[in-house]
């Protein structure tokens, strides 16, 4: 039974049903009754396992195929009509060619299966910033995850109305989960995403990176707003005023930890609080008052489990305690709960590792949970979720923060001189590889605005779009900062304590936004005076902070060379303003 009279939706669903030939079609209305039926069905077939109802109420465990455990960048395509529009950082294929290749794969792929039609809203229902998607899938796992990650069900069609064609068409089939024929393909001009032969979240929850970043970044470029790989958090002072910031970091740089930060005692006892609006994606649009406003288009957290614990991220862990789906973690057979590396020091003796084979954490040398194992948890579970989480207008952003892992180059924090310089800082963002990633340690990987794998169009145009947004916002534009929690001493130990203590740096950023803190000019931008970072309760001194803020000109000259080489990729699409910024940096370093 269709949930909408929108002719564009109905026509497209009919076409896809004719192509995939499912045995039956079920429209997902989002009702508790329907979802309970699907959960029961998934448990009955063994696709999902119910966990301990007392300790983890409403929680489920799922295992993906061992060949299907992460996003596959080599199999992810941006099929814009002109190759030029995909740019040098995306895989491109002519859309006609890609449709011709994939259509036979979908032909009859759902025979013997059910097609679920999932209407969903990215962003609060009724928000002027929200967008509608419809995902067709043959996976109950997808339906149950989309229920957590989006506003799913018939109310999603409210924003669309009866005549609009502005919805993202998502087609997904697990097919045979064949890695050789796995494709995650975006057709930006057609508002369409096709995903086949995967069952892993990042490839199949099409509202997430596929829509909310790759397609939405393209839409934002065309419509004059921004879709960014950024957390959104609010810092509330003892007087009850909240300052909102966005921050972008490449993976493994503590984004979720920062989004759900627990204030250190020095601030907590004064009455400071930190509120989470989003941990991964921000959609940003100019508001009526000229400022930039952000919503989190998502409704849940799709977090990496290993390393999440009561010290690293208590709020994330508490978010997983009910109605959460765990993927590829350890199952503790003693009490039917879950475990992963870094959760605590007590691996279970009687357990199944992530593939479902017997595992004894006390004796095994193998890891029990997959390094990319996940939890999908409802945002409403988070103890520090912002009361503005569902505000249709979003929250006003005062600062944008970039960061990465740099052992020696980037200081603890610096501020850009202005918006253009801030775009330069974001466009040159980089992280050094850690041992976990590859054999070579310390290789600099550039990841502009943490968007390298997620920008749905030419990155040169993307940089220009940032510059244009700055023009539009004028003096109402957020201030732009760069942070680095990962400076190391000569033995390779981190100097800055990180985690909740990162709030000490955020406080200087907030004070700069309010015109309350001084700064010192350096060749790379404005830095705090070392004594302006509050160290109360820490066992590091002002001299250490001075070292963390040190700008080593020789290292930065090397950095500038690396930036020039990286910029070469973008050819004549690279905005000249960014070349000018690089020239200024080099001139400052040579003074």
Known binder of ligand: residue 487? Answer: no
Catalytic site includes residue 93: no
Integer Cα distance of 339 and 309 in angstroms: 10
Known binder of ligand: residue 570? Answer: no
Known binder of ligand: residue 255? Answer: yes
Known binder of ligand: residue 220? Answer: no
| Residue 424 · residue 416 · CB < 8 Å | yes
| Residue 174 · residue 139 · CB < 8 Å | yes
Known binder of ligand: residue 202? Answer: yes
For 108: left if phi > 0, alpha if psi spans -120 to 50, otherwise beta; the answer is left
Integer Cα distance of 75 and 577 in angstroms: 33
Known binder of ligand: residue 315? Answer: no
Q: Compute CA distances 581 → 450, 465, 536, 584, whole Å.
A: 20, 16, 37, 5
Known binder of ligand: residue 113? Answer: no
Residue ranges in 288-427 assigned as alpha helix (H): 314-319, 419-427
Known binder of ligand: residue 253? Answer: yes
Known binder of ligand: residue 481? Answer: no
Known binder of ligand: residue 200? Answer: yes
Known binder of ligand: residue 457? Answer: no
Known binder of ligand: residue 29? Answer: no
| Residue 98 · residue 177 · CB < 8 Å | no
Instruction: Name 571's Cβ contacts closer than 8 Å, sequence gap at least 6.
Output: 88, 460
Known binder of ligand: residue 337? Answer: no
- Choose, from 59, 79, 246, 253, the residue flagged as catalytic: 253
Known binder of ligand: residue 199? Answer: no
Known binder of ligand: residue 502? Answer: yes
Q: Which contacts qualify for 305-311: CB closer than 8 Å, 24 or more apart? A: 305/329, 305/340, 305/343, 305/369, 305/373, 305/374, 305/375, 306/340, 306/341, 306/342, 306/369, 306/371, 306/373, 307/341, 307/342, 308/340, 308/342, 308/343, 308/375, 309/342, 309/343, 309/344, 311/499
Backbone dihedral angles phi then psi of residue 185, each to the nearest 5 degrees: -125, 135
* Catalytically annotated residues: 253
Residue numbering of the annotated binding site:
71, 200-202, 209, 229, 251-257, 280, 372-374, 405, 499-502
Residue numbering of the annotated binding site for GTP:
252-257, 374, 405, 499-502
Residue numbering of the annotated binding site for Mn(2+):
209, 229, 280
Residue numbering of the annotated binding site for substrate:
71, 200-202, 251, 372-374
């Amino acid at each position: 039974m269709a949930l909408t009279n929108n002719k564009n939706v109905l026509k497209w669903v009919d076409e896809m049903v004719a192509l995939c030939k499912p045995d039956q079609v079920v429209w997902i209305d989002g009702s508790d009754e329907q979802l309970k039926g699907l959960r029961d069905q998934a448990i009955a077939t063994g696709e999902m396992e119910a966990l301990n109802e007392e300790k983890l109420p409403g929680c489920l465990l799922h295992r993906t195929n061992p060949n299907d455990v992460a996003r596959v960048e080599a199999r992810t395509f941006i099929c814009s009509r002109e190759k030029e529009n995909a740019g040098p950082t995306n895989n491109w294929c002519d859309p006609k060619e890609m449709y011709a290749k994939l259509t036979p794969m979908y032909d009859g792929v759902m025979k013997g299966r059910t097609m679920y039609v999932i209407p969903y809203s990215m962003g609060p229902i009724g928000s002027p910033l929200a967008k509608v998607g419809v995902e067709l899938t043959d996976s109950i796992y997808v339906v149950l995850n989309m229920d957590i990650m989006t506003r799913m069900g018939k109310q999603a069609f409210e924003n669309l109305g009866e005549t609009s064609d502005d919805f993202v068409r998502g087609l997904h089939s697990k097919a045979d989960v064949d890695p050789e024929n796995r494709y995650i393909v975006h057709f930006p001009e057609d508002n369409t995403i096709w995903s086949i032969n995967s069952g892993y979240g990042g490839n199949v929850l099409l509202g997430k990176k596929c829509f909310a970043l790759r397609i939405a970044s393209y839409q934002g470029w065309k419509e004059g707003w921004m879709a960014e790989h950024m957390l959104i958090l609010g810092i509330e002072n003892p007087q009850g005023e909240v300052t909102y910031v966005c921050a972008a970091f490449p993976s493994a740089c503590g984004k979720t930890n920062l989004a759900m930060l627990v204030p250190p005692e020095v601030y907590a006892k004064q009455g400071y609080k930190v509120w989470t609006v989003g941990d991964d994606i921000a959609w940003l649009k100019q508001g009526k008052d000229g400022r930039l406003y952000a919503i989190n288009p998502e409704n849940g957290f799709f977090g990496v489990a290993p390393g999440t614990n009561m010290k690293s991220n208590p709020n994330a862990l508490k978010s997983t305690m009910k109605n959460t789906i765990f993927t590829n973690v350890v199952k503790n057979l003693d009490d039917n709960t879950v475990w992963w590396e870094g959760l605590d020091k007590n691996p279970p003796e009687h357990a199944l590792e992530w593939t479902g084979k017997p595992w004894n954490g006390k004796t095994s040398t193998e890891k029990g949970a997959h390094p990319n194992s996940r939890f999908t948890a409802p945002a409403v579970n988070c103890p520090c979720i912002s009361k503005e989480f569902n505000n249709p207008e979003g929250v006003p952003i005062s600062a944008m923060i970039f960061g990465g892992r740099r052992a020696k180059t980037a200081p603890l924090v610096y501020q850009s001189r202005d918006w253009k310089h801030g775009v330069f800082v974001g466009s040159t963002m980089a992280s050094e590889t850690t041992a976990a990633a590859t054999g070579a340690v310390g290789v600099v990987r550039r990841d502009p605005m943490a968007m390298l794998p997620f920008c749905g169009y030419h990155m040169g145009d993307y940089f220009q779009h940032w510059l244009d947004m700055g023009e539009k916002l004028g003096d109402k534009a957020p201030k732009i900062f760069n942070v680095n929690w990962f400076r190391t001493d000569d033995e390779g130990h981190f100097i800055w304590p990180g985690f909740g203590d990162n709030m000490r740096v955020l406080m200087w950023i907030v004070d700069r936004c309010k015109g309350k803190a001084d700064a010192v000019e350096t060749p790379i931008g404005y830095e705090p005076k070392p004594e302006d970072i509050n160290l109360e309760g820490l066992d590091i001194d002002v001299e250490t902070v001075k070292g963390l803020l040190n700008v080593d000109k020789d290292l930065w000259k090397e950095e500038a060379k690396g930036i020039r080489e990286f910029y070469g990729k973008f050819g004549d699409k690279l905005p000249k303003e960014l070349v000018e910024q690089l020239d200024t940096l080099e001139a400052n370093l040579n003074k």
